[in-house]
Every structure is written in structure tokens, then in C-alpha cells.
Structure 1
Amino acid sequence: MSEDPPLSILGVAGSLRQGSFNRALLRAAVDLAPDGVRIEIFDLAAVPLYNADLEAAGDPPGVAAFKQAIRAADGVLLATPEYNHGVPGVMKNAVDWASRPPRDAALGEKPVGVIGASPGMTGSARGQSQLRQAFEFTNSFCMPQPELLVFRAHEKFDDDGRLTDAATREHLARYLTAFAAWIRRFR
């Protein structure tokens, strides 16, 4: 039996804040990735607000780099916060850019995982739910289960942004193993 080829996952946090719990969650994912899985984190700071006029002139450099990173990855792992009971504008904007052009979108037929961390008790459940709806349009293969909803995130990360909660670390490791298997289904 041959060994599975290594997987490349692009991690994207839906927050621009340097101290974001979702950025910290992705850093923990890098550390906890199973053997044969490499996670690279993409920073959305250079991705402007979607504007059809900008798109018509050619993708801005940050957008072009984002789309290329998605295309090069075997799967995309999105870590979304939840703002006002929904998906934050930063994350939705990134998905909007990556859904263009519709028939040749970077997210088209791409395996996607959605996780999130929030200080609230629902752990970004509403934001994740709204984000999943966008993948119906992009024809992405969004993993339905398991879910990873990190609630009371301020109690699970230390002041340096390290995930210190043992149960959450175990759950994240299991999630990443399941996501790797999900990606391999579509290779």
C-alpha cells in the first residue's frame, strides 16, 4: 500500500487584529497538524474591499497572491470570528474575491474547512454557519463535520496567543486529522 502524498493547507483568519484568537487558532493548527500535512497561513491585510472596478482593471497584488495561494493548496482552512452574530466583513470579503470569476474561481471545487474562536459562549457558531452558505455558490466542498467551535477563547489562549487548553488542543488535532481525510476524498 502506498503512502498518501503530503497535503498543503492554506490557513486564513477572518480578523486583521494581530492578537486575534483566530490567528492564534491557526498557529496552533500549524503545530498540531498530522504527519504529512503542512499548513501555511495567509494574511488578508493586503486584500482590499471587493470592488468590481478594481477587478475589471486586474486583480490587485494582494488579491492575486491570495487566489494563487488558494489554487496551490490542496485545501483551505478558514478560522472565522463572529461579529454581531455573523461572519465578519474581512472574512466575507476574502471569500467574495476568491469566488471571482464565477466559472474559474480559486475556491471552485476546493475542499474547505471552517473553524472559529470567540470569547462568547457559541464559539463563532453563527459566523461559521453564515460562511458555509457562501460555499454553495463557489461550489467548494465544505466539510460538514466535525465542527470546531472554540468558546470562551480568552480563557484558552495565554497572553502570547498560545493555545493552552488541553481539551481544545486535542479537539483541534482530531479536527485536522478529519480535514486531511476530507481533502484526500477530492484528490
Structure 2
Amino acid sequence: MTHVAVLVGSLRADSVNRQIAESLRELAPEGVVIDIVDGLGDLPFYNEDLDRDGVTEVVTQVRARVAQADRVLAVTPEYNATMPAVLNNAIDWLSRPYGAGALVGKPFGVIGVTPTPYGGKWAHEDARRSVKIAGAIVVEDVDVSQSSIDVDVLHDAEVRERLRRALLTLVEFDAEAVAA
């Protein structure tokens, strides 16, 4: 079994990106478990004092779920030409303790849609840069940046196939082969 922790960059209940994350369960190949990590909106803003003096239960739970995963996938829109604060904050918590955070050594990909002509590419670039600094192994070939203006992303067969292929690329990624 391959466990993929999914971080959704939108807090809105009816978010298209949350719906995409949920659709990954049906698109996933056999033997792949999609774990949508809830609670990102409940994480306090990262503060080293809080981290040192005792983290909240939600911080402990989010860190544990990502640490237990084999892969991490962010599904996110773009806010003001960057990743949403909730995703950035989650990455901050998951990057600590420095050098030993839950993201260290994890293959990581990012996909998502946004109602702009750019399809979220800047948010995806920022997320990849941030997790790479946090110690994740960025899988560059896992990238679906799609505008929700031009197509019904939840039902379009071509978009669904691109999502399926991106997930498969992340799942099949061999970090040891890249390191060799």
C-alpha cells in the first residue's frame, strides 16, 4: 500500500480543489490510499515559541499523518499570485523541527485549479520551492495547473486523465533512483 497525504489549500467547503482531492480516491490505482489531511485551518500561525513550549493536538495530528504517508500531494488554488496562507502555514509546521520535519525525504507534488488564466502556476511554484527547503523531494512532473474558467475540471475527461497521471507519477516516483 502507498499512502498519499493530501493537503488542500482551500478551506471553503465547496472548493473545487477539495472536490478534486476527493476525486483522487476514485482515480487512484489499486493499492493507493488517499488521505485528505483535515485540520489545516485549525493550525495556529507558526510560532517557534508555541512549537518549543508545547504544540496543540491539531499540530500533532497533522504532523503525524504526513509523517506516516509515503507521498505528499498539495491540491491548491492560487491567492494573489501565490499559495494560500493556510497551505504555507501547514508547510511551516511540517518543516519543523528543522531537518527532521514530517516532509523530510517525502516525494511531493502539487496540482490544482484556480479561476485565473494562469491556472495556479505561481502558487504551485511557491509551494514546490517551500517544501524543497523543508526537505521534501519535489517531483517536478506532478503538476496540473488548470484554469477553471475554460473547462468543467470536475467532469472533463482530459483533465481527469491529467490528474490521474499526475497521481500515478507521484506514486511511482523512485526517490532512491534519483539520489543515485
- Provide TM-score, normalisation by structure 2: 0.91
| Aligned-partner SS, 1:132 | helix
- The one-character-per-residue Cα deviations of 1:79-111 (angstroms, maximum 9, x if unpaired) are 121001111111100000000110211111111
Alpha-carbon deviation of 1:30? 1.3
Provide the C-alpha distance between the structure 1 equivalents of 2:23 and 2:176, rounded to a whole number of angstroms. 25
Aligned to 2:5: 10
- The one-character-per-residue Cα deviations of 1:5-41 (angstroms, maximum 9, x if unpaired) are x201111101111111111110111110011111010
- Listed as ranges, the matches of 1:136-151 within 5 Å are 136-151=132-147
Greater shift after overlay, 122-131 or 42-51? 42-51
Aligned to 2:34: 39
Gaps of 5+ in 2: none
Aligned to 2:14: 19
Aligned to 1:99: 95
Aligned to 2:128: 132
Provide the C-alpha distance between the structure 1 equivalents of 2:66 and 2:3, rounded to a whole number of angstroms. 10
Provide the C-alpha distance between the structure 2 equivalents of 1:186 and 1:30, rounded to a whole number of angstroms. 26
1:59 and 2:50 equivalent?
no
Q: How many residues align?
A: 176
- RMSD over aligned CA atoms reads 1.7
- The one-character-per-residue Cα deviations of 1:26-70 (angstroms, maximum 9, x if unpaired) are 011111001111101011132121122211221211111010001
- Which of 160, 165, 170 is 1:174 aligned to? 165
Provide the C-alpha distance between the structure 2 equivalents of 1:153 and 1:65, rounded to a whole number of angstroms. 35
- Provide TM-score, normalisation by structure 1: 0.88
Aligned to 2:119: 123
1:30 and 2:25 equivalent?
yes
Alpha-carbon deviation of 1:153? 5.7
Provide the C-alpha distance between the structure 2 equivalents of 1:10 and 1:136, rounded to a whole number of angstroms. 16
Greater shift after overlay, 98-107 or 51-60? 51-60
Tell whether the 8 Å contact from 1:117 to 1:153 is kept in structure 2 after alignment. no
Which residue identity does 1:15 align to in structure 2?
A: S
Runs of 4+ in 1 over 6 A off after TM superposition: none
Q: 1:100 to 1:146 in 2, by over 3 A?
A: closer
Q: 1:153 to 1:107 in 2, by over 3 A?
A: farther
Q: 1:146 to 1:109 in 2, by over 3 A?
A: closer
Which residue identity does 2:159 align to in structure 1?
A: T
Provide the C-alpha distance between the structure 2 equivalents of 1:28 and 1:121, rounded to a whole number of angstroms. 23
